Every structure is written in C-alpha cells, then in structure tokens.
Chain A
Amino acid sequence: MTDTSAPAQPVRALSLARIEGALPWIALGLVGLLLPLLDDSYIGVIAQRAFIYWILSAGLNLVVGYAGQIAIGWVSMLTLGAYTTAALTAGTATPAWHPYLALVAGGAVGALFGVIVGLPALRLRTFYFAMTTLGFATIVTQVALAWKEVTGGGVGTPGPVFPWPFDPGWGFYYFCFILAALATWMTANLASSRFGRALVAIRDAEVAAEASGVAKPRLLVAVFLFAGALGGVAGGLFASLQSYITPDAFTFEMSVLFFIAILIGGRGSILGPALGTIVLTVLPEFAAPLVQWSTFLYAALLLLIVLIIPGGIADLLDYKNRRPLERHREIVPRPELLARVLDRRTGGEVLSLANVELSFGGVRAIAGLDLEIRPGEVHGLIGPNGSGKTTTLNVISGYYAPEAGQVRLGDAVLPPRAPHLRADYRIARTFQTPRLIGGASVLDNVMIGGTIDGQGSFAESLLTLPRHRRDEKRLREAAMLALAVVGLDQLAAVRADRLQHSELRFMEIARALMLRPACLMLDEPAAGLSADEIRRLGALIVAISRQGTAVLLVEHHADLIFDICDRVTVLNLGKVLAAGTPAEIRSHREVVSAYLGA
C-alpha cells in the first residue's frame, strides 16, 4: 500500500468530541444567565459564592489538576485579594481607590504572591511545597490579625461596594458570572494549548517534557502568576459579597474545599472541577444540620477519592475510554510518509563527542570517548552493563556535564547540563522506560514533541488568538502524520495508558519525530517487543536514518544491532573497545570475549 495520505478521520472525530464537550458548558451558562429570573436573592448569593469560588478554583485547577503541584494553601490568595481590595477601597493604607481599580490591584497582588508561593515548586519536593503553601496561608492570616491599622485585625474591615453597572444585587451577580465565564474560557483555552499539554507533561513525564524542550520554570511561573491573579480577583469579589471581612472568614478549611473540588472533579479536566465546586458550595445549604460536619465530610470524601478513584469523577464519566480496544492490534508503520514529517533543511549535521570524560565518585564512567554519529546512518552503541552507554546518552542529552571534552552538533558545541535546550538543536530521544502522559490521548502525547515549534505566547493561548489557533492546527496535523508513520494513527484518540507496552515504544518514536530531529537517540527501543515488531521497528529506524537523520541506537538486542546498523561502537569500561561495521564487530574476538566476560 503506497497511499501517502494520512487518515484524517481521527481529527474529525476529535473536533466532534469538542462540540460534545461544550454541551455541559452551554447548559451551565444558560442556568447562570437565567437564574436571576427566579428573583430569589438567597439562591443568588449561593450562586455568587459558587462563581467566586470557581474563579479561584479555575486557576488553582491549572496548578493542581494540570501541573500536579499540591498547593493546599491557595486560600491565601483569596485572603490577599480580599484585604487588598477592601483596604484600598476603604483607604486605610493609601488614599481611597476606585473599587474596580482596587479589584485589579487585588488581582495583581494575588499574581505577585502566586509566583512567590509558587517558586519553591521549582525546586522542592512535593510535600515541602505543600507545606510552604500551608505555612503561607497560616502566616497571611496571622498578619491579617496583627496588622490592625490596615486590616482592622480581628474586628475586620468592610468589603468594597462596586458601583454601577455591577452594583450589589443582580448587577454584582452578573459581574461574578461574567468573570467566572471568562476564567473558565481562559483556563480551557490554556489547557488545550501546547502550554496545557506541557503542564501535564511536567506532571506525568517530566524527563520527556524536558527532552521536548519544555522550559519548566518559565511555564510554572506563568501559571502561578495567572492562578494567583484569579485568586486575588476572587478575593476582591468575595470581600464585596461578604460585605465585611475578618481573618476568620478565610479558614484553612476553605483551601481544602477548593482542593477537594478539583480532585473530585478529576485531574486534567475543567468541567469536573467546575461541577465539584458547584456541588461543594451548594451542598451545605441543603444539609444545614451537617454544616459543622462539612469539613469532616469533605476530608472523608478526599480520603475516599484518593484511595478509591484517584482519577476523580472525570475518570468515572470518561465512558469513551472504557470502550474496549481491538485486542489483537498490529503496529504497521508506514515509513513512506516519513519524507512529509522530516524536514530535511535541519538534518545533515554530524553529532560528535570528542574526548569526553566523566566520573562519579572516583569511578570513571566515561574515559576519553570519541564518537561520531553521521546523518543518514544508524549508529549502534553496545557494551556490557556499566560500560557507559547510558551515561553517554545522558551526556549527549545534557543531564551530565562532561568533565573534559565536548559534544558538538555540526560546529555548535552543545551546552552541558541543559537537557531542555537539546530540542532547539533538533536532538530527540526515546527512553528505556517509555515516558508517557497516561491520562492524555496518544495524539496529545505526540503533540508534546512539537512544543518548541509553537509560536504563540502564553497570553495568546489564554485568549485563543489567531497565532495560537495556527499553532494548534499545525501541531495536530504534524502529530497525526507522525502517528501514521509509526502505525498508530488509529489509536490517536485513545488514552495513552491503555496502550500496550510495544505501542508505547512506537508512540515515543512518533513524539521524537515531531522535532524533525537532526539526531535521534533510541534507548533500547526493542526491549519488550515481539520478533515481528522488532523487524518493523528496524525497518522504521533505517527509513528514518535514510531521510538524513543521524540515529544513535543503544540496544542489547544483538540481532537488531547487527541487522540494521551501518556502524557499531562497542564500549567497555567507558572506552571504545571496538568500532566498525557490524560484520567487523561480529568477528572481533575482543568484543566476543568482553561480552562473555572472559
């Protein structure tokens, strides 16, 4: 079959799913829009509270649900926003501000502190970060209590009253509604953009994200900024809704409520957490005798979710991914499509290691290694355990800095210790254990590989401006094509964690192809594959190299190495033991004895 058109059907199925996904939002929007017709101010207040909580949760959802950062003290953003807006409006610290301006300032303060609280997430372990957000929430409350001149201390301070058009009553209701809708729209835009995918990739497959060129610090800072701003704005609105705020109003339990709403809803979903927020806001109103137990029940719910359905409601509702997949699937790569995926302008450069040395704690892992991987060739790297193969890969990938020597691509020296910059040099790789985003579709997983080719900014994605839409379209098409090349296009819409191990290996290759690599490094791609699959893999690898890509293949599978490599380097004790054509290596006595350990 030499049909070179990639099947477009899954793309259409995806856009259908999009329309289907919008239905609940339209329903929610209509309810929100028409609720004032009931003219029940009690219901109005509850709805406003739900809107306000959701404005905060929408931002927090990006932090918790997408980036996977356990920020349990996010109520502090609400507190900061509320006091900033209230104090500026009341003029306790400065001349009085206009309430709308004060609200903007509340958002700005939230954004600032969002970043400050978020910074530790870049370096600290999960629990440490959770604890710093918790500590921050405690301290904000303590300061609110103690800084009496500005916050009124324990007595409190009046909240801002917004003038027309969003004056108290239904005007303010629509203000909250509009802002909630806006928050939803922006987070949904972001979540479905390359930034949203990169966030999830950082959560589930950080190494792969790095290798695809995702710059974690910049991305997380942007998200914390945005989530903090939403929290601050929610705080300003909250202060107005409460009409009078005291530090007691911002209990840690509220943080838990936001957090649980997101987890109940499910990680990596927006609708789920939105429904969770609504349910948790409304529920206590129907169970007045239980109010004092509400936090207890929330906590119990959290425990149950963690233990029983860590995926949240979104997972339970994900009926599409329970449809059984065909059991006996075959991966049929179509290397003939490769020319359309790989852009030959970037190829044609030699990756070379010159006299690279590296030792760990006195043990020489690599001792003066020279290696040249040429475009258009498959270069096999073999050797016994501990011979330095993986270390070599990690040096090229930028995880380790060599103590001596250089790694070059063409004439450019690759910066050491900068794995996230390798993508810029069009150096792609796969991993010994496939690194995947289990909860995302195969297509999304592959699109991660093209992250650096996006041109739109974070803000453009928030507002879904034209450049963002062009990026998305291009990335999606490229990913479908890459999937067709490796033979997985029929599975594009399937959750990646439902794939078989061998399919994941091919998916990783598709992700790597998204970079249109000048150099492709494959780390034991044949491990766990059947003999048939290995044959197809071999043909695919050869085809990739013939497009002008330099391929480095680390593999234990001797048959594959000798079958497809143009050149083989054998490492032993961090040095080149032998190098040459497969035939030369196969008959090299020293190699045989190194393998046999004599």
Chain B
Amino acid sequence: MFASIVSYGLAVGAVYALIGITYNVMFSASRVFSFTAGMLGMLGGVLGALFIAKMGLPAIVGLVLVLACGAVIGLVTELLTVRPVLKSIEQHLYVLSTLAFALMVQQLTAVEWGTEAQPFPRLIPIGPGWLDQQFWLPMLACAVTIVGLELLYRKTLIGRAFLAIAEDSYAARALGLPETQLRMASFALAGVIGTLAGFTGAEMLLAFFGNQSILNFYGFVPVALGGMGSNRGAVVGGLALGLFQQAANFLVGGIFAAVAVFAVFIIVLLLRPEGLAGASTARRV
C-alpha cells in the first residue's frame, strides 16, 4: 500500500506541478492568472484519447498533435482573452475573460466528447504495478519540462527575454524587446506544457471534461503556496500535494483529504499571501 500511495501520489503530484508551471509561464509573461491552465490539462487527455484511441493514430503522432493543439489554443487564449484586457489589468477583467474561454472549451468538450470519463490508451506495455506508465510518465514529463525550461532560460536569448519581461516588463519594452511576440510565445509554451501534463496523466485521470476544474484548483494550490512565478515552488508543492492527497485518501478518506487541502490552502494564504517560498516583492512603479 505504501508503494502505491507513493507512486500514485507522485504521479498525480507531477501533473499538478506541470499545471502549476503552466500558470507560471503565462503569469510571468503577462501578469495574468489564467483559468485556462486546467483546461489545457483536461484537453491533453481528451485530445490524446481522441487522436490515439478513436482515430487510431500512432502514439507519437498523437502526442505531437496534442502538443500542437495546445500551442494553438495558447495563442488563441492570448489573442482573445488576454491582450484585449491587458491595458486595464488593475480591473482584473482577465479573471472573467479567461474563465469564460475555459468554460466555452469545457462545454464544447462535454457536448462533442461526452460527459462520461473515457479510458486513455496504454502507450507503453510495462507493468502492471508501480512501474506502470501511468505512474512514471507524468514524472518523466515533469522532469523533461523542468530541464527544458531551465535550458531555455539559461542558454537561449529568448529564454532570457522571458525572464526579463517577467521581472520588469516596462524596462524590457524600453529596451526594445518585442513584448507582444514574447507574450504570445509564452502562451504557446504554456499550451504545450499544460496539454503535456494532461496527456501523460490521462491514463490515471481518464479523458474527462470534468478534470478541468479539479486541475485548475489543485494545479493552483502549489503555485499559490510556493509563490507565483516560482517553478521550483510549483514542483515541490505539487508533489507534496499529490502525496498528501493520496495518503489521506487511503488512510482517512476522501472528505478529509479535500477539506484538509482546502483548509491548509486558505490558512497559509491568509498568513502569508505571497506564499510560503515567495518573497514579498516590492513593486517598482
């Protein structure tokens, strides 16, 4: 039982972590919290099942297509729901515009794909047991994403430009960095990461339209607790959340797990609104 708690917990936690990173990537480029993070996760599973199980495409082609769709949806998110309301960011209209867009996609999925959770195909026949792909695939995806992002930020100019915009978009603009293009690139990247999370986690979570709100919330918890914009916080927080949830599920039952997560979330944020690891950054006007 211990092994299954750990393997299942870490796997779910990896999915949460990736959704958290999705929030971060969008936030860093635009200062916008977007409700589309959970939606991307949900779509990763549904589109994967559609391409591979329904349409019979090879797994790798299916994966590439899913990620491409994610990138396109990321771009649409930026164009449709973020850019128009960015001028008056203090009005927080993005909360509503991204929520509305996420709901539209969710309902479209519910109507076209169905409201029943559907199985996701097994891609790699190892297991069963804790070596099963459904456990290590999300963790692998998480590791690949972190290494990839680190390389992007440290080794490429465009990655540094992302960091620059995240730190001080005014100075970045004055320096002549193409803020709009970089923001679009960030949203496309977030689309890829979000759908990757959903794709790799789907054997466990199933291809289900209702995963959206669950991933939205549980993906946000590690980010909020770890500090917005901190990918390290998202990963540590996501894995811890996954483990805690599974342990509580097994040991004391689901109600307690859900209530406890929520209570911890609220209490921590009330005590430290900037998150456990986040520094209270003084804003330069």
Q: Which residues of A contact B (CB under 8 A)?
A: 70, 72, 119-120, 123-128, 130-132, 134-136, 138-139, 142-143, 146-147, 252-253, 256, 263, 292-293, 295-296, 298-300, 302-303, 306-307, 310
Contact B95 A70 (CB under 8 A): yes
CB distance from A236 to the nearest CB of B (A): 23
Cβ-based interface call for B140 (8 A) = no
Q: Is the interface of A mostly helix, strand, loop or mixed?
A: helix
Contact with A along B16-55 (1 / 0, CB 8 A): 0000000000000000010000000000000000000000
Contact B213 A293 (CB under 8 A): no
CA gap between A120 and B270 in the complex, in Å:
6
Contact A131 B224 (CB under 8 A): yes
Contact residues in B for A135 (Cβ distance below 8 Å): 217, 220-221, 262, 265
Contact B100 A302 (CB under 8 A): yes
CA gap between A126 and B94 in the complex, in Å:
10
Contact B216 A134 (CB under 8 A): yes
Contact residues in B for A295 (Cβ distance below 8 Å): 103, 107
Contact with A along B91-129 (1 / 0, CB 8 A): 111011101110110011011000000000000000000
The segment from B64-72, B197-205, B231-239, B253-261 that touches chain A is B253-261
Interface residues of B in 175-224 (CB under 8 A from A): 213-214, 216-217, 220-221, 224
Contact residues in A for B95 (Cβ distance below 8 Å): 70, 72, 126-127, 130
CA gap between A525 and B240 in the complex, in Å:
53
Contact residues in A for B107 (Cβ distance below 8 Å): 253, 293, 295-296, 299
Contact residues in A for B258 (Cβ distance below 8 Å): 138-139, 142-143
Contact (A299, B100) CB under 8 Å given A292-B111, A307-B85:
yes
CB distance from B38 to the nearest CB of A (A): 10
Q: Which residues of B contact A (CB under 8 A)?
A: 33, 80-81, 84-85, 91-93, 95-97, 99-101, 103-104, 107-108, 110-111, 213-214, 216-217, 220-221, 224, 253-255, 258-259, 262, 265-266, 269-270, 273
Contact (A136, B100) CB under 8 Å given A130-B95, A146-B255, A303-B81:
no
Contact residues in A for B273 (Cβ distance below 8 Å): 123-125, 128
Contact A300 B104 (CB under 8 A): yes
CA gap between A142 and B104 in the complex, in Å:
23
CB distance from A300 to the nearest CB of B (A): 6
CB pairs A–B below 8 angstroms (23 shown) = A70-B95, A70-B96, A124-B269, A125-B273, A128-B269, A128-B273, A131-B217, A135-B265, A139-B262, A263-B96, A293-B107, A296-B103, A296-B108, A299-B99, A299-B101, A299-B103, A299-B104, A299-B107, A302-B103, A303-B104, A306-B93, A306-B96, A306-B97
Contact residues in A for B84 (Cβ distance below 8 Å): 307
Contact residues in A for B111 (Cβ distance below 8 Å): 292-293, 296
Contact B103 A256 (CB under 8 A): yes
CB distance from A577 to the nearest CB of B (A): 25
CB distance from B29 to the nearest CB of A (A): 16
CB distance from A227 to the nearest CB of B (A): 18
CA gap between A139 and B263 in the complex, in Å:
11
Contact residues in B for A146 (Cβ distance below 8 Å): 253-255
CA gap between A70 and B94 in the complex, in Å:
11
CB distance from B277 to the nearest CB of A (A): 16
Contact residues in B for A302 (Cβ distance below 8 Å): 96, 99-100, 103
In the complex, which of the residues B81, B99, B100, B224 has the most CB atoms of chain A within 10 Å of its own CB atom? B100
CB distance from A256 to the nearest CB of B (A): 6
Known: A124-B273, A128-B269, A132-B266. 16 other contacts (CB 8 A): A70-B92, A70-B96, A72-B95, A123-B269, A134-B217, A136-B262, A139-B259, A142-B255, A256-B103, A295-B103, A299-B99, A302-B96, A302-B99, A303-B80, A306-B100, A307-B97
CA gap between A9 and B211 in the complex, in Å:
59
CB distance from A126 to the nearest CB of B (A): 4
Which A residue sits closest to B111, measured CB to CB?
A292
CA gap between A369 and B100 in the complex, in Å:
53
Contact A127 B33 (CB under 8 A): yes
Contact of B213 among A70, A126, A138, A147 (CB under 8 A): A138
The 5 closest A-B pairs by CB, nearest first: A127-B33, A299-B103, A303-B100, A296-B107, A302-B100
Which B residue sits closest to A116, measured CB to CB?
B266
Which B residue sits closest to A293, measured CB to CB?
B111
Which A residue sits closest to B257, measured CB to CB?
A142
Contact residues in B for A298 (Cβ distance below 8 Å): 103
Contact residues in A for B103 (Cβ distance below 8 Å): 253, 256, 295-296, 298-299, 302
Contact A138 B81 (CB under 8 A): no
CB distance from B258 to the nearest CB of A (A): 5
Contact (A138, B214) CB under 8 Å given A72-B99, A293-B107:
yes
CA gap between A135 and B255 in the complex, in Å:
14
Contact residues in A for B221 (Cβ distance below 8 Å): 135
